Structure 1
Amino acid sequence: MARYTGPKSKIARKFGEPIFGPDKALEHRNYPPGQHGIAHRRKKISEYGTQLKEKQKAKYTYGLLERQFRILFEKAESSKGVTGEVLLQLLECRLDNVVYRLGIAPTRAAARQFVSHRHITINGHVCNIPSCHVRPGDVVAVREKSKALEVINESLRGNRSSRYSWLEWDAAAMSGKLLNVPERADIPENIKEQLIVELYSK
């Protein structure tokens, strides 16, 4: 199963945003990585460079590699609606992202691991595919055998699902429902999706 396993703090510093979650390295060194660090005068980024950077930020944020991301873009392009917005909606409806948004996992990487290790169910059935598409009305829950896991309970103590209007969380059952596909205005990620569309349209 392909996934990014490189240094995360360096990537976060590259984009100047905590895209992998809270990062002390980013707080202490809020400038791009490299030999010369903050003193290095960087050249003006070209239009292509700006578009590429935005695509890379989206890929790292949601934990996808190029082939997966390209397939999702093509799916968004062939769907009705604004391509960039549909792309973000498809990313938000991935099972690993929904698990993260519900607060079951502290990060998307942890959510991906929970799914892979068969701790998560969809509509009562165990699913170990992080890229599985969650549809409105689907119930995503912690598997009965996994409800006692400390790492899951620790994450749920700081439950984030109430922040998102498209999700409904049932604390007693340790389950959540996707009420609807989120609108672009409801997705908090700082991604300029139009730049990604322009890049793939070249």
Structure 2
Amino acid sequence: MARYTGPKDKISRRFGVALFGPSKALERRSFPPGQHGVRAGRRKKSDYAVALGEKQKLRFQYGVLEKQFRSYYAEASRRRGITGDLLLQILELRLDNVCYRLGLGNTRSASRQMVNHGHIQVNGTRVDIASYQCKPGDVISVQDKPSSQQLGLRYMDLTQAVPLKEWLTLDRATMTGRIARTPENDDMDAQVNVQLVVELYSR
């Protein structure tokens, strides 16, 4: 299983956005890392550098490596519709992201761990693949094992103040969620200009 394991606060500081969840490092030092970080924001970036930065932000936000991200883009470009919106839909419907949206993890990496360790079921079947593509109508629940239930309850307590997305429904008592519909553009809070990502790959 490939995933990014490097420093997260550095990445968030480089882009000036909390890509991995709330970060106190951004509050303390709101400039890029490195020796010349304070002056880095004064340099004018090329169009290519801006587009590359948007792509990297999207990758880090969803915890996807380059090869997999390229395959997601290829899939989105094959489908009929707006490529940028379809790319975001594919990323949003990853199982680890759906669990994050349901509150079964206070960060995407925590949700990914819940999935990889076998605590999550889809339609009553255990699924331990974080990149599993969910679809409307799928029911996501926590396994009946005591350890899974305990973890699920802990994350539910941590995320109870986080509003639920409109494309999902959730029964907190049973820790069971359902994908009511495909997420639309207004439902997704990607902190990037997706059009620049599409232009970068279509060059």
TM interval, short-chain normalised = over 0.9
Equivalences for 1:48-197 in 2 at 5 Å?
Answer: 48-145=48-145, 146-149=147-150, 151-157=151-157, 158-159=159-160, 162-197=163-198
Q: Bigger shift: 32-41 or 110-119?
A: 32-41
Q: Which runs of 5+ in 2 are unaligned?
A: none
SS state at 1:115 partner:
helix
Letter in 2 for 1:144: D
Q: Does 2:30 match 1:30?
A: yes
Identity, % of aligned positions: 48
Q: Bigger shift: 139-148 or 86-95?
A: 139-148
- The answer to whether the 8 A contact 1:115-1:127 is kept is yes
| Alpha-carbon spacing, 1:42–1:116, altered in 2? closer, same or farther (3 Å) | same
Q: Deviation string for 1:84-126 (max 9, x for gaps)?
A: 0000000000000000000011111111111111000000000
- TM-score, normalised to structure 2's length? 0.95
Q: Report deviation, 1:171.
A: 1.2
- The answer to whether the 8 A contact 2:32-2:40 is kept is no
Q: Deviation string for 1:137-178 (max 9, x for gaps)?
A: 0001111114432x4322201236743100000112111001
Letter in 2 for 1:153: L
Aligned residues: 201
Letter in 2 for 1:164: K
Letter in 2 for 1:122: V
Q: Deviation string for 1:13-52 (max 9, x for gaps)?
A: 0110111001111111111111133144642110111110
Letter in 2 for 1:115: V
Q: Report deviation, 1:8.
A: 0.1
- The answer to whether the 8 A contact 2:170-2:177 is kept is yes
Letter in 2 for 1:182: P
